[in-house]
Structure 1
Amino acid sequence: MSIIGFTHRYYRVLIATAITLLCSVHSVTSQGIVKGKVSDQFGSLPGAKVVLEGFGISTTTDVHGDYILKVNNGNYTLVAGFIMYNPVSKEIQVQSGDTLQVDFVLTTGFSMDQPTTLGSRAKPSSLLKTTVPVDVISAQGVSNSSQIELSHILHYLIPSFHSTYQTISDGTDHIDPATLRGLGPDQVLVLVNGKRRHNSSLLNVNGTIGKGTVGTDFNAIPIASIERIEILRDGATSQYGSDAIAGVINIVLKKQTDVIDVDNRIGVTTDGDGVNTYSSVNFGLKVGEKGYINVTAEYRDRKATNRAGNYTGTVYTDDREEDQDLIIKNNFFGETGYTDKRVMEIGNAATQNLAVSFNGEIEMSEKANFYLLGGRNYREGKSAGFYRFPKEQEKVVSELFPNGFSPQILTDIQDDFVIAGIRGTKNNWNLDFSHGIGINGLDYTVNNSNNASLGIASPRTFYAGGFKYRQSTTNLDLSRSFDWLKGVNVAFGAELRVENYQIIAGEEASYIDGGETYIDTSGVERKRIAGAQVFPGIHPDNELNRFRTNSSGYIDLEANVSEKLLLKGAVRYNSYNDFGGHTIWKLSGRYRINKFTSVRTGLSTGFRAPSLHQVFFQNISTQFVNGQSIQVGTFNNESAVTQEAFQTGPLKPEASNHFSAGISGKLNNKLAYSFDYYLINIEDRIVLSSRLSEGYEDILAPFQVGAAQFFTNAIDSRTTGLDASLVYKTSIGEGDVNAVLGANLTRTKVRGRIQAPPSLIGMEEGLFNREEVARIESSQPNYKITSVMSYELGKYRFQLMNTLFGKVTYLHPEDGDPDNWVLNEFTGNVESRDQTFAPKLVTDAAITYHINSQIRCMIGGNNIFDVYPDRNKHSVNSNDGNFIYSRRVQQFGVNGANYYFRLLLRL
């Protein structure tokens, strides 16, 4: 190389280096620094998020509430936000070399303009701009609730949601049925972070709300892990899949980092029972520059409550005078384990609950993230059944229990789920691919009992078997927005779901017929009842392990036709390996009358295939009818009993159609409102039949049951209703007032005749009697009105909640005919056992004191005026004095007043 060539190359390199250095210096000098503090009225807020809107640049505050950002020259919108606080935005101008101080003071509360992810696959939209009604419970709403279980938080905050403790109903004592808009637990779809959550393994077969259905175990989700809850109150099966007939509940998990939240509380009823303790911790950590992992651990311990009445029946013999002498001689009431003259535990069951959950996301590239969420919940429960008296020789081995016994049902419930996925963008399309597995298992142990047919060889504790349900779901979702009209969003995707349902047999002693007999009072030798008393073990003949697959695909279109008109349409095709293919659709729209007022309407069809539980469940249980115990066999549609004796045929899917219309808006940024009407028609609704016995004794005898029941598409139903909500915010003096008023009025009616199989034509009322019809129509409150009012002044927060529950009605299966009425010992008259339970108002109150920005304490009470449902007015319904309150229909439980203390730490 010549000297001249070398020199030219040297200068080229030198010039290029100089240009690079100059560009670097220019880049540095063209930046400014934005820093500041984020706080609330009590001090700094560590972990608050500060975002440079529209540029993907963000940071979080440190333990002192301070943040710092390096920003290029220009004009920006800076937004600060934190869980349970309203976000605040400020316009800033950044110049080279400047250091700009921008502080934020956030206020608590929830804004009606906050985006919601439900009801749309486009960019999250304000509640005021959706085409369907959506309720949102913010993190503040969850945190300020006085309840410690998710189902009861929703019960007192959402007027259209119903879930309360059940009693003397086997596994249903431990997993509360939950409904929306007066429909069944299996007609509401539950999502977590927008992903389908699995159902429980429990099928409700006793006489409670939701009889014959399978729901979701809401209380398996730790409340400390929840950022917000979104409730879509509209049919949405075409958008989110089967089961969403009444609506969709989406539970959004926390993403917060750099803070540790600790919550401890203890409470007790005014009767001195039902002590509950609660502890939780939630914390988050950053992963890389944009990733996070949020972890929650939660512990709940709830002692049982007992609202049983004093027993008035006989114990050792039906001769009352002789019986009274024996009661005194044997100190019977001192040996039962209960106070006074109680022989039962009627109230909420004792449970101990331990849960962990996590929610995380990491950046894979600039356009793709990996996310992972999951958790485990383990719950032990203990409830009691009907007392077995010494006079009931067919049930009691007197050598083991000379004074009879109060049998116990112990449950072990384990609930696990994990969901992993990748979301990102490719060629302007938003992609989301995920796979999730959910498992729910329930095992029964019967304690303090006997298998009378084994005589003195009977154990006192039995493993009675259990159930397991597994759901595996794979989803692929794609969406994209286009600049057509005033904006169009196109979404489509597919889902593959594999389900598995198992019934697990109990140990032999729990179900076997040992052949022991006894001599009755007439001197006749009779057989003793086989199986563990209170819950006969599951027989190996009823064991099963069944699978089902469902694949579906959907298309979802949204078009902003103009600035005021939004139209949406969705179509989904479902294909089940056992129920074939079905197409469903939805059309909805919203018209903005002005900036603050919108009207909306929707029309859709729905579809729900029978659950695996409803198709295959088969078991024998002990049920009490008119005070007498009876062995009831629940037979599936594959059994000889249903096919030959009742000729039921296979179950069909439920089909539905929906109409809704509503208006929403706000006034002066202080008052927001919404009113929505809905109409839901369901055809071929799947129900559990009445207990059938007369005329079928010979068929049922080999199964050692006195009655049979089975699933059938017996009814069509129509549900109409109105939802309303008002949200009001203002300042009074130096404090802030927040008030929320919500109402739901609903009515469900069975339409037309009961649809009976060929063998039961003309016996429709026996197939689905008036008690079962009333369970559909009137066992849930016909209306519910909720109000939440809070006043924040300085370091204090005062909260008052009122919930007005509408009436509920119980109808006895035989009392439609006055000839069947019986003597009411309370009044001395022959009367109907039917009863309507009047509306009741329940009031909760709490006072919170902020010691500083990191510590706050709360004292409060639930049902502070100690309100109870109406008492049973007919002596027969009280079952010899045991049941003061109805166990068949529930408005809000029978615990009465309870008070609690709570301490919250933010570290």
Structure 2
Amino acid sequence: MRIVTSISRGALIVALASAGHMTASAQTASVTVTDPQTGSSEIPDDIIVTGTRATGITAAESAAPIKVLDAELMSHVGQPNLNQVLTQLVPSFTAQAFGGDTANLTLSARLRGLSPNHTLVLINGKRRHGTSNLAVLGGPYQGAATADLDLISPASIKRIEVLEDGAAAQYGSDAIAGVINVILKDDKEGGDASLTAGENYDTGGRTYGGSLHLATKVGENGFINVTGFYRYHDFTQVGGLDRRVTDINGKLLTSATTPSITPLQQSLYPGMSDFPYVNKISGDAQSRLINLQYNSAYDFGGIEAYSFGTYSRRVASAYENVRVPTRVSRTVAGVTTYFDPEGDSPVNGFSPREKIREEDMAFTGGVRGDVSGFHYDLSSTFGQDKNEIYTVNSANASLYADTGFTPTTFYNGFFKSSELTANADFTHEIEAGMAAPINLAFGGEYRKNVYEIGAGDAASTYKEGGQSYPGFRSSDAGVNGRNSQAGYVDVALMPVEGWKVDVAGRYEHYSDFGSKFIYKGTTRYDFSDAFALRGTFSTGFRAPTLAESFYSATNVSPTSAFVQLPANSAAAKLLGFANLKPEKSTNYSLGTVIRPVPRLTITIDAYQVKIEDRILGTGSLFGGGGATSPVNVNFPVVTAAIRANGNVLDPTVTQTGINIFTNGADTRTRGIDVVASYASDFGEYGNATWTLSGNYNQTKITKVMSAPPLVNVLGQTITVPLFDEGARANIETASPRVKVIGSTFYSIDKFSMTLRGTVYGKSSARYSPDGGKFYKQTIGTAFIGDVELNFKATDDLELSIGANNVFNKKSPTLGLVPGTTNATLVGGGNQLDAPLTFSPYGINGGYYYARMNVSF
């Protein structure tokens, strides 16, 4: 039945699920669609397990929008990376292409243009712990500390259910934008393996990956699935001309053309490799990743025990701004010497790299079954992520000046976060004379979170620390924790045939800020088999992550040093900032499901999400250096807060100050999701599945909280905006409002083909060279094409070649200050041709690949 394959693939990409909570396990059901070849009306369709506690709800019967992606669909995305899988298949999902500092080593993603922290990730319905590597620097993904999807191998996944609706009343904190539920494979025999290799067209990034999945029965009533995955990804190089000693054409400046250039600076680039593209800060990190996963269960006769878990190890490093030779020097008896970490002659600059050694693990165990008409599911999950941070190929300028020695490798300390969760879930059906039994669900959850920062070695914290990333001081280090308890009730009923109603309420108590009660109501009415209306109203909240509350570090560039001040610290209170409190949300959605003809499904869902007291990173508050315009003002109390926090800043930089996370604004997000899918059967000429999906999304800041008044160096009391133009643009315009994906999967005999086109709408951000005037930088509407060709050599062997971004579309570059003819960049950076890193389609251009899949 070739039509079965087409129908299921089309249904999976547009599936829509009921609002509610979680069933214990996936089942099998069917929808009535006639196969023109056989006349059969039974087409298998998956029962959803995300967003509902009621059993037997199929994708076609859903009351809230959920997209379901199966393993075969995901296998036709070229890059072996779960973030890329979701980016290329889900219009409301966007993945980070580039991160500043250590955020480039742990890229994040988000739904519906909200924060990554507003999306809850589940594995087999159980909460996944977050990364310990907080995204600190400004941008659309600032503050991200959510689950790292890259640590979940696509080869281990049976399907993914993406609930695009507020679900905090069902799952608790974090589910304001929606839920991503990863369902692991539960096969009882067989396996598969995959090998892939690829590279970007002209920016590097060579990639090798391999996976092996094995499944076997355990006794008569059990199974275990084990998946191993390895991936190597090399650096990419995008941009690279350095404005300090080259012109806009990459020509080395000389003292004849530029009197301020010294002979020492002239010697920098000819003595370094890759001239003139020596500044490698813009590009992917190099990484080696190992993922191991397992999923298992055993039925003891009415009681099923289950367990699943993951282990990951990643070693990654990313280039930072190149340092000129004069950056690290020592003067003794009137003789100046310059530090050269590579020992070359003449003296060269150096390119520091930030590096992580990450270990991540999670384990879930539980039992489920039925007793006295109640279904129960008792489980516990423990997850932990630890990142050891290093700076390599660097130097400590003060240590070298004071002692004549500096190491080139620094251990900066570590981040570690852990989460322990215990759940008890119960469901019971009650006959009440309605069109279907009432489904009553209730339960509770206990959760304990711990976040820790460990101090770096002595050289990394001596005065200002190593170039590009100072170590964590004893004042940065510390262990902070909290616990929470929750109880919920969920009632799903069908008063009359075709009308579904689901209401849920949840009470949570947190040890650090008190209690919250939230609720949700959803309904759907099917007027006929061809038309249905659905809608949802819900409230929610998000507890601040411990990283947002307690992260402390110094962020540096060749010309600036800014302390990320802990939001819940005494130093923050010195400036007038209060401890972080939870965000509060209100979600509305209204949608329709239309099936005008067999095999064609159209869904349209409009939504609004209001968030009060949203946690955002502030703009820069200056403590010294920089301009003295009304926007960029120096405040002695900021410098005092830096000292109170125990930080020592580089004395050679021109700008110093602080950034801080705060409940700084209210926002409103409005949007529409549209999905259409159709399956065609051409008889002997093959079959095809056509999908068209799109998202329109707009976020506005509706209210900005007042910043504490500060006294400047002239003794004047000034109220500085919490969010400068750049910070506001990161929220409102840095993500495209429109994303549309159209795809076709065509197969005939042993050949198949995937064609996919994605249109990204316009986006923009604002940059400033010095914290004063801001300049708008725009990324125009772009079309990104993907293609993959497959050949089924045997029943068990498939060969594939393909390309993502086949037309090699690249991000625009950072511009010069309007009206200038010199190398003054609007972003204050050092690369003359740096890419706009907020590009929704990445900065690396096209990627081509080959893949071999084997099943057994």
TM normalised by structure 1 equals 0.82
> 1:589 is matched with which residue: 514, 523, 538?
523
Structure 1 residues 394 and 754: CA distance shift in structure 2, 3 A: farther
1:375 aligns with 2:324: no
Task: Answer with 709-718 or 304-313: which moved more.
Answer: 304-313
Counterpart mapping for 1:596-615 below 5 A: 596-615=530-549
CA distance in 2, matches of 1:375, 1:719: 35
1:445 aligns with 2:393: no
CA distance in 1, matches of 2:535, 2:329: 61
> Are the counterparts in 1 of residues 96 and 141 from structure 2 also a CA contact under 8 Å?
no
> Are the counterparts in 1 of residues 165 and 176 from structure 2 also a CA contact under 8 Å?
yes
1:123 aligns with 2:55: yes
Aligned to 1:750: 701
State the secondary structure of the residue aligned to 2:548.
helix
Aligned to 2:635: 695
> Are the counterparts in 2 of residues 877 and 883 from structure 1 also a CA contact under 8 Å?
no
State the secondary structure of the residue aligned to 1:876.
coil
> 1:727 is matched with which residue: 677, 683, 691?
677
CA distance in 2, matches of 1:678, 1:562: 27
State the secondary structure of the residue aligned to 2:75.
helix
Aligned to 2:263: 326
Q: Give the deviation of 1:243 after TM superposition.
A: 0.5
Structure 1 residues 698 and 146: CA distance shift in structure 2, 3 A: closer
CA distance in 1, matches of 2:756, 2:537: 35
> Are the counterparts in 1 of residues 254 and 261 from structure 2 also a CA contact under 8 Å?
no
Aligned to 1:901: 850
1:474 aligns with 2:422: yes
State the secondary structure of the residue aligned to 1:755.
coil
CA distance in 2, matches of 1:384, 1:571: 48
Aligned to 2:831: 882
CA distance in 1, matches of 2:701, 2:754: 40
1:574 aligns with 2:508: yes
Aligned to 1:146: 78
State the secondary structure of the residue aligned to 1:151.
helix
Q: How many residues align?
A: 778
> Are the counterparts in 2 of residues 473 and 496 from structure 1 also a CA contact under 8 Å?
yes
1:216 aligns with 2:147: yes
State the secondary structure of the residue aligned to 1:359.
strand
CA distance in 2, matches of 1:106, 1:406: 67
Counterpart mapping for 1:737-776 below 5 A: 737-757=688-708, 759=710, 766-776=721-731
CA distance in 1, matches of 2:203, 2:592: 47
Aligned to 1:548: 482
> Are the counterparts in 2 of residues 80 and 88 from structure 1 also a CA contact under 8 Å?
no
Task: Answer with 761-770 or 216-225: which moved more.
Answer: 761-770
Q: Give the deviation of 1:603 after TM superposition.
A: 0.5
Aligned to 1:354: 290
Amino acid at match of 2:113: G
> Are the counterparts in 2 of residues 754 and 768 from structure 1 also a CA contact under 8 Å?
no
CA offsets, 1:712-732, max 9 Å, x none? 111000000001111110123
Aligned to 2:801: 859
State the secondary structure of the residue aligned to 2:348.
coil
Structure with bigger gyration radius = 1
Structure 1 residues 763 and 436: CA distance shift in structure 2, 3 A: farther
> Are the counterparts in 1 of residues 188 and 216 from structure 2 also a CA contact under 8 Å?
yes
> Are the counterparts in 2 of residues 112 and 672 from structure 1 also a CA contact under 8 Å?
no
CA distance in 1, matches of 2:429, 2:605: 29
Amino acid at match of 2:673: D
CA distance in 2, matches of 1:353, 1:900: 19
Amino acid at match of 2:814: N
State the secondary structure of the residue aligned to 2:73.
helix
CA offsets, 1:300-347, max 9 Å, x none? 0111110123224238999555677837974x3343333434322421
1:649 aligns with 2:578: yes
Task: Answer with 461-470 or 386-395: which moved more.
Answer: 386-395
State the secondary structure of the residue aligned to 2:794.
coil
Structure 1 residues 751 and 813: CA distance shift in structure 2, 3 A: farther
> 2:784 is matched with which residue: 829, 842, 854?
842
Structure 1 residues 435 and 759: CA distance shift in structure 2, 3 A: same
> 1:157 is matched with which residue: 89, 109, 114?
89
Q: Give the deviation of 1:700 after TM superposition.
A: 5.0
> Are the counterparts in 2 of residues 736 and 792 from structure 1 also a CA contact under 8 Å?
yes
Aligned to 1:53: none
> Are the counterparts in 2 of residues 859 and 901 from structure 1 also a CA contact under 8 Å?
yes
> Are the counterparts in 1 of residues 63 and 535 from structure 2 also a CA contact under 8 Å?
yes
CA distance in 2, matches of 1:860, 1:188: 31
Aligned to 2:753: 798
Counterpart mapping for 1:53-202 below 5 A: 113-167=45-99, 169-202=100-133
Amino acid at match of 2:280: M
> Are the counterparts in 2 of residues 722 and 746 from structure 1 also a CA contact under 8 Å?
yes
CA distance in 2, matches of 1:749, 1:477: 38
1:672 aligns with 2:601: yes
Aligned to 1:489: 439
State the secondary structure of the residue aligned to 1:203.
coil
Aligned to 2:629: none
Aligned to 1:76: none
1:781 aligns with 2:736: yes
1:274 aligns with 2:216: no
Counterpart mapping for 1:803-814 below 5 A: 803-812=758-767
Unaligned runs of 5+ in 1: 1-36, 42-78, 91-103, 514-529, 822-831
> Are the counterparts in 2 of residues 235 and 658 from structure 1 also a CA contact under 8 Å?
yes
CA offsets, 1:110-134, max 9 Å, x none? 9894321111101141222122111
Q: Give the deviation of 1:616 after TM superposition.
A: 1.2
CA offsets, 1:267-325, max 9 Å, x none? 11221621101100001001122311001000001111101232242389995556778
> Are the counterparts in 1 of residues 813 and 836 from structure 2 also a CA contact under 8 Å?
no
> Are the counterparts in 2 of residues 166 and 208 from structure 1 also a CA contact under 8 Å?
no
Aligned to 1:313: 244
CA offsets, 1:722-745, max 9 Å, x none? 011111101235200111111010
Aligned to 2:358: 413
CA distance in 2, matches of 1:889, 1:759: 32
Aligned to 1:634: 564
Structure 1 residues 673 and 701: CA distance shift in structure 2, 3 A: closer
Structure 1 residues 272 and 835: CA distance shift in structure 2, 3 A: closer
Structure 1 residues 353 and 764: CA distance shift in structure 2, 3 A: farther
Q: Give the deviation of 1:596 after TM superposition.
A: 3.1
Amino acid at match of 2:47: P
State the secondary structure of the residue aligned to 2:532.
strand
Counterpart mapping for 1:384-395 below 5 A: 384-393=319-328
Amino acid at match of 2:778: T
State the secondary structure of the residue aligned to 1:780.
coil
CA distance in 1, matches of 2:245, 2:526: 69
State the secondary structure of the residue aligned to 1:865.
coil
1:294 aligns with 2:239: no
State the secondary structure of the residue aligned to 1:190.
strand
Amino acid at match of 1:695: F
Unaligned runs of 5+ in 2: 6-26, 247-251, 331-335, 342-346, 623-633, 650-655, 817-823
1:704 aligns with 2:633: no
> Are the counterparts in 2 of residues 468 and 502 from structure 1 also a CA contact under 8 Å?
yes
> Are the counterparts in 2 of residues 869 and 885 from structure 1 also a CA contact under 8 Å?
no
CA offsets, 1:836-867, max 9 Å, x none? 21011110101000011010100111111111
> Are the counterparts in 2 of residues 231 and 247 from structure 1 also a CA contact under 8 Å?
yes
1:429 aligns with 2:371: no
Amino acid at match of 2:210: S
Structure 1 residues 39 and 247: CA distance shift in structure 2, 3 A: closer
Structure 1 residues 863 and 149: CA distance shift in structure 2, 3 A: same
Identity of aligned residues (%): 29
Aligned to 1:14: none
Structure 1 residues 896 and 317: CA distance shift in structure 2, 3 A: closer
Structure 1 residues 106 and 710: CA distance shift in structure 2, 3 A: farther
CA offsets, 1:858-901, max 9 Å, x none? 01111111111223333513757725344452211111112111
> 1:563 is matched with which residue: 497, 502, 511?
497
